[in-house]
Structure 1
């Protein structure tokens, strides 16, 4: 079970490192040019997108570093809770924009994060 949980945390960490890193590295205009999956960026300020990117990167690191070092392990379920909330918000944004095809990934990532919340919280 522990190996499966580490795999889920690794998948989430990579996904959010890539997503957050992209938001930090590119301007809103460049993100919009990446296609319809990033069209939501047009509804948010540059500062908001950078904040989301920063939270994604910090959360991704908090998913793997604390349990790997066995230090401040409460950060892992806390970060996963943040991702559940973030993905809930992302789903709502896509639904409001009528992008029903775009809600699959946020729902999947949110469910995976919810698994981490419960299983890591049980381990505390």
Structure 2
């Protein structure tokens, strides 16, 4: 009985993390694509092409972290989106370190750890099956 309760609690926590990351990535993607001049980061003004590419990647991550599981259509795509999020956050961290902005990667590391948590939870503890 306790194991079932723990699985249900973990499932709720995983959904909270997935929705949180979806909101963050969707907001970032929309802002990068529609209002890049309003963003406070210096690199946005230096490389508009990178802003567009990262905006698209953010939107794909945002959609992929929640929608497949929510609709129960190929829910394993959520796990793949989390792997993509890890790659995106590692790339962002390297980018910031190369620019001498290593003190700004804390948020990227938080997002990376959250994506690892989603992979762990959805692969091992609280799987979501297809319809």
TM-score per shorter chain, which class? 0.7 to 0.9
Provide the C-alpha distance between the structure 1 equivalents of 2:83 and 2:45, rounded to a whole number of angstroms. Answer: 26
Shift in CA distance, 70/105, structure 1 to aligned 2, threshold 3 Å: same
1:8-40 deviation per Cα after TM superposition (whole angstroms, max 9, x unaligned) = 10111011011111111124xx15xx33xx223
Larger Rg: 2
CA contact (8 A) 1:23 1:50 kept: yes
Correspondence for 2:119 among 96, 117, 120: 117
Q: Which runs of 4+ in 1 moved over 4 A?
A: none
Partner of 1:15: 24
Stretches of structure 2 that go unaligned for 5 or more consecutive residues are: 1-9
CA contact (8 A) 1:66 1:76 kept: yes
| SS of corresponding position for 2:65 | helix
Stretches of structure 1 that go unaligned for 5 or more consecutive residues are: none
CA contact (8 A) 1:40 1:94 kept: no
TM normalised by structure 1 equals 0.85
TM normalised by structure 2 equals 0.80
Aligned-pair CA distance for 1:55: 1.7
| SS of corresponding position for 2:51 | helix
Provide the C-alpha distance between the structure 2 equivalents of 1:82 and 1:39, rounded to a whole number of angstroms. Answer: 25
Aligned-pair CA distance for 1:52: 1.5
* Coordinate RMSD, CA, aligned: 1.6
